[in-house]
Amino acid sequence: MPTKPSLSLDTFPNPSPARDYLIHMEIPEFTCLCPKTGQPDFATLFLDYIPDRKCVELKSLKLYVWSYRNQGAFHEAVTNRMLDDLAKATQPRFMRLTARFFVRGGIFTTVAAEHRKKGWKAQPSIDLAQFEPLSSVR
């Protein structure tokens, strides 16, 4: 039986829940319909999140994204709705969904929405660029 679009998001246990680590996904085939004209809108989605106890399963994410193909939605609305659904399913420490829509009427639109778990604070990043490799020190 062929797969079908689905609004269901499956998860699996985070294999390293004691550590903050970033999961980055690029989803280049997002489509929905313009609610005014019915014409297709195309976007690349960038999903970045720091999981807590659950991670999103990729096949269910693919089917979830596919479910928007025939739905009319403004860019701002669809980005925020998707973030809400993903955050509800995974309950991450941090999540950002960025939707970069292709040009329509001479305008590119990018919408970014974020979710933070209450009380979570990002750990400071280590800037490795400040360290020179030993081979360059003379």
* Residue pLDDT, tens place only, 22-72: 999 999 999 999 999 999 999 999 999 999 999 999 999 999 999 999 999
Q: Which domains does the chain have, with CATH numbers?
A: 21-117 (3.30.1130.10)
What would the two tokens of residue 102 be? 């292709």
Q: Is 34 a catalytic residue?
A: yes
Q: Annotated catalytic residue: which of 10, 20, 34, 85?
A: 34
Please tell me the predicted confidence (pLDDT) of residue 61. Answer: 98
Q: Is 32 a catalytic residue?
A: no
What would the two tokens of residue 83 be? 């973030």
Residue (of 96, 112, 89) closest to 11 by Cα position: 89
Residue 76 and residue 35 in contact, taking contact as beta carbons nearer than 8 Å: no
Q: Annotated catalytic residue: which of 10, 20, 32, 41?
A: 41
